[in-house]
Every structure is written in structure tokens, then in C-alpha cells.
Structure 1
């Protein structure tokens, strides 16, 4: 499926809910618990999965800002949305932010340049996030920029962490002969695990005057909160006064204590006033008081009952306020220092070729904790269909809004542990993915992709073996249409990047897919580079039940004109036609073959007026004329067995219309021959009743066919014989009597519509005759 990340821990982490990331290159020098917010990381994060159909970048954004009292330009950050599907995507954007107390942040704090966007197929579009630095209370804000489709389907998000800090005020100019150094003081009382932390800072006062000056000292500090309040007196101890000698200096020690002080930022000034009445010096002060923290000792045990032999990442997510902490634990033991609150503590412990995913929900109150995370408690995680003898793989992950932990391995080697309430309301979940394959080189193949998701918990029952009647079961019949006789099938769906199978043609591969999953199938075959073909079925939604799908069923007809390449006549009289490089099989599935040639010829009044290879452009006369456009296609002879050459000829009238671009009626025919075997062969001497359908150009109505003629050839178009056709209840049926001898049947069908336009389509070697 994919290579494992190159780390010993064998655990996978992401910072968002939709894209897996692998932890790599962790430093052994990490010795303390490291808050994720704003701190440098001791490792690199690299993408593990293939690109999703719709992606958001960045997935996480930390923005430090300095608050301004006056109006300033907002800070701007760019967010990019990538659409890797084949259709334009309409999206809606919304910002949701809350402060530390859980209250909604002011709407003015963060605004988007647009609340909706159109992201073109295969391209990117972006929005600007404007962050206001004035008119909003300083503080820490967290939330997301959420992205949904026009119908409300979640597509992703960017996690936001905004730190709007009030600046330290500039000192007032000194009055008199005395100055102070430093000119401001910032104190950190936020060290973890030391609730009675004390810091001392020294201020030096210098006197340049001819007389000593006695300074009276007083501090004015206000604390955090909705309204500024006076800081607790215990926070700062200041001497009452100090005397600074003439042309000399004196030192004053300030003592800051964090014991029992509510956490937050305290700001103010130290004012030194001279008894001479002519001296005043102010020194700005800022004090950050940290939260009370307790030790949570984590002890890891693998399934063999011993400490893991490899370094193992453990993460703690605060359900209370969204904070995140991480530890790289060596020798099975490590310590988190956490403030009071409720946490999910998560890890994945490797034992041999398998892993055990463990999540404990704990409450940190007013004492230290010992937490044992024992892989032996893990319940087996299995997800494979009943009665399908296919070796399988399992991937299970537990996710929070900020990270995802994954356990992966062969079925039977993955286990999961959940310790906590039976149900939780927070946005966490447990996802299980099962997949497996059996190649189709020596007999019928099989593959499965199954998925289970549980919001808010790891379920007590983690073993599922659904019966086939609970699943979407498709028997894919891959018919023989090429000279190589072999190829490969790529199956993707859910979070499976690529499940590749070897196939020998003709062959059947049965797929078992979880109903509701979006999945894709891509069949490739050929000889070598530039001698290759493929046919695919992208972004199908699995529906419960059984069905049969025929691939490369005859007749293979030229592909449709794309929406962006419709044949047209411009308002200036310019005709443009781009020949599709694709082909379509009898099931309507689209494919392509390397080195297929396309020649176009346009004629009017019996005279050729333009030719082109692959595309044709011509200037048309303004008056009404009947034009004939011929498209000759030759398939790569080193690959193709069927539809080796096709010729499509249209006859239509066209004239100039002021200020109007016209789509030309170059409709195509679609043929599906019933009763063919897996070699696309009909029985000798049998009769084939072939429905003929008209595929209109995108944007034009399906024309009404008024007459149809059919001819067949058994010598690759050397000679032709008439066959019958009739309109049966709105469907035209061509009736062909197949030759008695083995060989190929070529078809030439001409259809005329009610407007007098015609399309004549010739297919050399449309299908085979044989046993």
C-alpha cells in the first residue's frame, strides 16, 4: 500500500483530522515536556499520504501578534485551497475563534477576504486571513478556518492559534538627573511544575547631578481579566526607597513571586519619585504567571510485557482548552507536566511487525499521577469480508482536532486500547481501515477496501467480518483487447493510496467495497513507455449489492469532446475542432492509448478548405454552407486488437450569427454489442442485435434520428454488405448476421437527424467472431 515512515517509533502523527503525517528524525536530546504552541519542534514533519482530492494549506497556523492601542494595518496570512478533482469546486469559508474561557472571539479579530470561492478543477485558489491588532482585547485565541462544499460537506480546515500580546509600555522620559537601567523589565513566572517560583531582578539608578537624590519607590500593576484589576500584593516586593549618591549609582532588587497568583499577564510601572520634588523615573513592568502544573508519569509496556525497545512518541491533548504536549519517551518511561484539566493521552506501541494504539482519558486535579499504557490490554482490530481468502492489512487511528495516532500491520497484528467514558462529546474519533488483494494472473482476482469510523470512542468490539451481502460487490470482467495480454489494476478508496494488482487478460477481479466509500479503478496495459493504454473509472460511490462491470467491451468508439474543447464556430467565423485523445468502451468508460493518430479534414462544396493533425482551425464564410468534416483515427498497432482504425464523417450546415458563438452538432455514435464473450467475440453464424445510441455534444440536445443505414465487412473494410436497422420504441437497433468463419466484423453506420445533419462512423475490427 505504502512505505512506512523511517522512524523507530513506528507511530504516525498528524496535526489535523484529514491528512496523515509521519514523525521523523526525532532528537534524543529532548529532555523536557514541550508545549506544541509556538515552541521549536525536535523533529521534522513530512507528508505520508498521497494527495487528497481537496487539500488545504497550511493545515495549522500559529500567529504571534502585538496588540496596538491605535489603528494599524491588519496582519495578513494566505490560505490556499487545491482541487485535484475533474470538476470545479464551490467552497464556503468560515472563521470560528474562542478565547481561553471558551467565549466567542470578537468577529473583528479575524476576517476573510472572501466567504466563498470557486476552485477550478486541477488548480488552486486562495483567500487572505486578515488579523486585527487594535480594538480587540489582548489574549490567546484558538479556532479554525472551516471549509465546506456548497452543500455543507466538510472539506478540511486550518487550525488557528493567535497570540495577541499587549506590548510593554515605553518608559516615560526621566525628569531630573536620575536614569534607570534597564529601561523595562519582563518577568517569566511560567516555568512548569514550580508553583512557588520566585524571580529577582535588579534596577540600577544613576545620578548625574551634584547632589544625592532619595527616591521613593512604588509599583502599579494590573492583572488579566475582562476589566483591569490591581495585581495581588504578593506578586511584587519593592523597597520603600533608595538614595543615589551624587555622580554615582545605587541598585534596587525587585522580588517577583508566583505562588498563589492567578495565571496571566500583569502589566504596569515602577515609579521612582525624588524627595527633592524635581526627579521622576518610570520603568515599565510585565509579569507572565504560569499555570499550576502536576507530574503525570507515563510508563509504556509492549505486548511482550517489557518496555518498548524503540523511542516512542506520546501526546497529550487538553480536552479542557485545546492545549497540546508531546514527549519522545526512551526506555518506556517519561513525565508530562500538565496543568489541571481533562486530557487524552495517546500513543502507538510497536511489538514485532504489529502495533497497539492506546488512548487514556485522564483528569489532572491536585496531585501527581502514574499512568501505565499497557499494549497487552489491547483488543485485536480486524476488518475483512467473510469468505474472501485474501491476505489483509489493518490501519487504525485515533484522532483529536490536533493530531492523529496510527497503528498499522497485517491483520492479526494490530490492537487498540481505550480507557475512558463509553461516549464522549468532544470532536475525537476512531477510524479503522482494512484492505487486501489477490492478483489475477493465475485465476480470478479479488480485492477489498473496508472502513469503520466511531465518533468519540474506541468501540468495545473491534473485530468486524461483514458478509458480502452487506458490501458493494462488483465483478469486474476485463476483456482482452490488447496484444500484451497482461496489465495492472490500481484500486484506491477511503484512505488507501493505491492497491495494485497484476492481471492477465481476459480475467475477472471481484472488489468488495464498504458502501458509501468513494473509490476509483484504473486499468493499465501495454508493452512499455509510450506503448501503453489505460482505462479508468474515477470517484465512484460504492452502493450495497452485487453487480457486473464489463471493461473494454466492444465496440471501442472515439471519446467525447470535452467541456472546454467543444467544437465551435466563433462569432468571428472561426471554426475550431480538437479531436479527443480518448476512447469509450461499451459501458461508457473512458480510456486512452499511446501513439494514436488523429487526422481532421474540412470540406465545403466538394473542396478541401482545412486540414489538421489532432486539431483543426478554419475561417468560414458568413453565408450558409454545408460542410463535411472527416476525422480519421488510427490506433497504436503495437497495442490495439479492436477498433484499429475509425473514421467519423459529419455533414452539417452553418452560417454566421451576429455576436453568437455556436456549438457545432458533431455528435458521436455509441455501440454495445450484446452476447460477446471475454475475448469480445460473437459465435460464428450468430445474429447480433446492436443498440445504436447518439452521444450529443455537451450543451446540445440529443438529436432525433430519422433514418439509419448499417453496413458490415469481414475483410477489414475491403468490401461492405448491407445490414438492417430499425427504430424500436425510440432505440435504433442494427441487426448483423455474423460470418460463419472466425475473424473480425467491421461496422459502418450512418445516422441522419431531423435537421438534416448526418454522422457516419466506420469502425474497423469492431468485434471478433470465434468460439
Structure 2
């Protein structure tokens, strides 16, 4: 697949030394720690470890075929988080998580980590049509050590340790179905994890993942207690799946996406959510129109800050971005252009109240993105020096077309109703909208037709031939603040 799918790690036989902690202000006497390992069968395994200094809150990785060597500053007590991996020819592969502490006292110390006491992470969902993947996180302070494997091959050595949390998540996938389990433990690594469930024990939600480009693949993730290695799971979009989720387990949903030839890469994500046992309301992701969910931007004193984020959020308002979007930002006061761009998001304004114009244009590769290949916003607003951080009086216009199919397409010659609403910047004073003008274009934004707004909804007569519909809206509120928003290729027309 394309960019962002996974990181590849190359190793060599023998010890591998990686990095060192920054030296302190005083002279540092460097010391070395060789980490050896024994698999549950008593053989020399691969070692992947993180050495953590709890006092400094810093860590760094080491790994090796039969041992791993770390370069450490002075005499300190470190926590060692390691995966002991058995992957010998003719043997069933397995991973064992080990946590220990070690005080470095000599110039070159040695410690052996054993997987022999490892207890199984024993999970099942009672569905023979699916395959699972487990991911565990061992956390302490700034440390988050991660190991994953498939059910029946992942173990952990029990240990009691104050401040340490152990979280296991698993994702099970099959034709049209996904299971998500997850449990957290505090006070160290538990003496084995056993969880056997059926569909009746779980929350059930039907989820549709629409596409907005040809040859598109999506990767639905649930970060949190139920995050079980689902970053390896890719679906051809559009797709509709039934998800069974462990009730009450925190799930920060994210949807990563790629195109067939990889330049398109980004994600859409909402806040963390949980599900109750039983059937939850159906969800739709990647629904047009892709445009800003909220404007953002604030002023503190004479300093204005604006970053072009969430410019490609889906119709439900889930925040989204595209890694390869080019965003141009320009701020003007009268005829004067102020130095503000996507990479320098702060600019100093005048002390007196003034009217400003902020223009943002987000451009995507149309061959890959297909929809919302160009999103333009132009704000006109008043601003004066503030005593504290104050949200800018900016708004966006949200379009949520009804009746589109899973490719975000309307049938040729049909009529599409589009609810339209104005969203005010979070924290800014909301003023009534006094003017709302909405237009549509079916010829690539060459000409525009005005649309009547009735009860917050407009109707578009779609062309009889395949193509795209662009949307444009201008909203003015009672304070005189204004936004003009244009979305090229807001949705497609296709048979």
C-alpha cells in the first residue's frame, strides 16, 4: 500500500546500539547495559526494548538478535520494558512482554530477561469466521511500550508495579464484521488475561464507510482500551460492516484513508466515545460535503493566531485533514497584507479596532481526491486588542446533502436537498445570521445559479450527465462579520 501504512524495521544479527540520553550539565560517565533474553523455551530470542528513566521522563529504544546494548548516563535506576520474541525455524512464533527495573552500578552491567514466567493473553469472540490481533500497552508516566501478536501467541510476565497500567486491546476481522475488545489493569502486569465473549455480550453498530475517490481504501481505528492493532486493517471503500464493541470501553474513532496510487493520505476523527450493550445507532463516515467543521483562530492582546485545520471534515463534522493538501493563507487589513501563512500561524495586529480579511484556500490533487479538490474561505471581521485569549468571530457553512449513495454521488437528473447551517467558532459570540446566500455550479464553477433557502434547506437540480456539483455560500451576521465559502466538487453525479 502507500505512504503511512506501516513502518518497516530492519535489524542485524548481534547487538544493536541505538542512541543515548542527553548528557547533563555536569560531566557524564557513560555506562553500558547489555540485555540478554531467554524465551519461554529457554532459547535466545530477539529482544526489542525501551529503557525508561522515570525521574527524567525520557526513554529510548534498543533491540538485537541475541542481546541489546544500551549506553546510559551515570548510575541510575531504570525501568526496562521488553518483548522477548521467539521466531526460530520449526517453532511456533510468540511474543512475551517483560517489565523489570535495574540499577546500573558498573561501567558495563549485564541483565537477563526471561519469558519463562509468561502468562497467556487468552481471548476469543466465539466466531470462527474472524481472525484476531492483540495489542498491549504498558504505560508509566511518559512511557508507552507496545507489543502485538495474534491470539494464542502473546504472553506477559506478571509483575506488581505502582503507577504502571496494562491495557490489552484486540481487533477481530472477517467478511463484513469487526470485533473490538479491550481491558485495562492498574498496578502492573496482571497474572494472565482471559476474555471469552459472544455477540450477545457486546454492543452492535452498523457502520458505513463511504468513498470520496476511486480505488480508495480506508482504515477504521478505535484508539483507547479497544485499540488492538487495527492500523493493519484496510477495507476497500465504500464498505458497510457490523462492528461488535466491548461495552463501556473507551474508543476514540479514527478513519485513515489512502488512494490507489498513494498520494492521498489523511484521517478523520471525532471525540472519544463508548457504546452500551445492545444495538447502537448506525454511523456513516466519509459523507460529503468535505469542508471545515469549525473555523478555529483566536487573538491574545495584539497577537492573532490561525492554523488551517479540519479543512476536510466530513458531513457529520468529524474533523479531517489530508497530508498532501496545499493550504494558502492570507490576512489583510485594508490594502495591507500581513505576514500570516500556514507555517507561521501568528501575526501582530494593530492596537486599534480594525476590519480584517482572512482568505484560506486548500487545494488537493483532484485525480486522487475526486471530491473537495479545492476549498476556499474568505472571512471579513472586526477585531480589537483583547485582555485575554479570545476566539475570532469566524464562521463556516456546513452542507449535508441528502440521498447520496455510498460513493457520495447523486443520480443524473435527480434533485438533491441540502440542509445548510452556519457554525460559529467555538468560544466566539454567536450573532444571528441576517443574510444567507447559497449557489450551485454544475460546469466546473464557471457559472453559478442562486438557490432559494427554505427552512435552512436548498434544492439542487443535478445535471443529466455525470459530473460534479460545486457549492458556494455567503453568510453575514448582525455584527457585520461575513464568510464566503466555496467547495469545488462538493459531490458527484454518477449513474
Q: Quick check: TM above 0.5?
A: yes
User: Aligned partners of 1:511 and 1:494: how far apart in 2?
Assistant: 16
Larger Rg belongs to: 1
2:413 corresponds to 1:673: no
Residue 631 to residue 611, structure 1, CA distance change in 2 (3 Å): farther
**Aligned residue in 2 for 1:384:** 124
Q: CA deviation at 1:648?
A: 1.2
Which residues of 2 match residues 73-472 of structure 1 at below 5 A?
78-80=55-57, 348=117, 357=120, 382-387=122-127, 389-393=129-133, 411=151, 433=168, 435-438=170-173, 444=176, 446-451=178-183, 464-467=196-199, 469-472=200-203
Q: CA deviation at 1:602?
A: 4.2
Residue 534 to residue 474, structure 1, CA distance change in 2 (3 Å): farther
The alignment covers a number of residue pairs equal to: 411
- Kept in 2, the 8 Å contact 1:472–1:542? The answer is no
Residue 453 to residue 558, structure 1, CA distance change in 2 (3 Å): closer
Q: Secondary structure at the match of 1:591?
A: strand
**Aligned residue in 1 for 2:485:** 761
User: Aligned partners of 2:248 and 2:300: how far apart in 1?
Assistant: 43
Q: CA deviation at 1:672?
A: 1.9
284, 287, 291: which is aligned to 1:550? 284
17, 26, 49: which is aligned to 1:47? 49
Q: Secondary structure at the match of 2:180?
A: strand
**Aligned residue in 1 for 2:239:** 507
**Aligned residue in 1 for 2:444:** 716
User: Aligned partners of 1:313 and 1:675: how far apart in 2?
Assistant: 50
- Kept in 1, the 8 Å contact 2:182–2:227? The answer is no
**Aligned residue in 2 for 1:534:** 266
468, 475, 484: which is aligned to 2:206? 475
Q: Over the residues paired in the alignment, what is the CA RMSD in angstroms? A: 5.2
Q: CA deviation at 1:543?
A: 1.2
User: Aligned partners of 1:553 and 1:394: how far apart in 2?
Assistant: 30
User: Aligned partners of 1:551 and 1:474: how far apart in 2?
Assistant: 13
Residue 665 to residue 748, structure 1, CA distance change in 2 (3 Å): same
User: Aligned partners of 1:528 and 1:504: how far apart in 2?
Assistant: 14
2:440 corresponds to 1:737: no
2:323 corresponds to 1:583: no
- Kept in 1, the 8 Å contact 2:171–2:229? The answer is no
Residue 385 to residue 704, structure 1, CA distance change in 2 (3 Å): farther
Q: Which moved more, 1:643-652 or 1:540-549?
A: 540-549
Q: Secondary structure at the match of 1:639?
A: helix
**Aligned residue in 2 for 1:518:** 250
**Aligned residue in 2 for 1:706:** 434
Q: Secondary structure at the match of 2:275?
A: coil
Q: CA deviation at 1:447?
A: 4.3
Residue 658 to residue 628, structure 1, CA distance change in 2 (3 Å): closer
Which residues of 2 match residues 605-754 of structure 1 at below 5 A?
607=335, 609-610=337-338, 613-614=341-342, 625-654=354-383, 656-657=384-385, 663-727=391-455, 732-754=456-478
What do residues 90-124 of structure 1 show as CA deviations (whole Å, max 9, x unaligned)? xxxxxxxxxxxxxxxxxxxxxxxxxxxxxxxxxxx
Residue 491 to residue 498, structure 1, CA distance change in 2 (3 Å): farther
8, 15, 25: which is aligned to 2:36? 25
User: Aligned partners of 1:314 and 1:570: how far apart in 2?
Assistant: 51
Residue 647 to residue 27, structure 1, CA distance change in 2 (3 Å): closer
- Kept in 1, the 8 Å contact 2:390–2:427? The answer is no
Q: CA deviation at 1:408?
A: 9.1
Structure 1, unpaired ranges of 5+: 7-22, 29-41, 49-55, 60-77, 83-157, 160-309, 316-325, 330-345, 350-355, 358-380, 398-406, 419-425
Using the size of structure 1 for normalisation, the TM-score is 0.44
- Kept in 2, the 8 Å contact 1:394–1:432? The answer is no
Q: CA deviation at 1:584?
A: 1.0
Residue 696 to residue 395, structure 1, CA distance change in 2 (3 Å): closer
Using the size of structure 2 for normalisation, the TM-score is 0.65
User: Aligned partners of 2:112 and 2:35: how far apart in 1?
Assistant: 14
User: Aligned partners of 1:314 and 1:726: how far apart in 2?
Assistant: 64
Which residues of 2 match residues 2-13 of structure 1 at below 5 A?
none
Q: Secondary structure at the match of 1:25?
A: strand
Structure 2, unpaired ranges of 5+: 1-5, 13-33, 60-78, 81-93, 100-110, 138-146
What do residues 712-748 of structure 1 show as CA deviations (whole Å, max 9, x unaligned)? 1111211111111134xxxx33333333433211111
- Kept in 1, the 8 Å contact 2:390–2:428? The answer is no
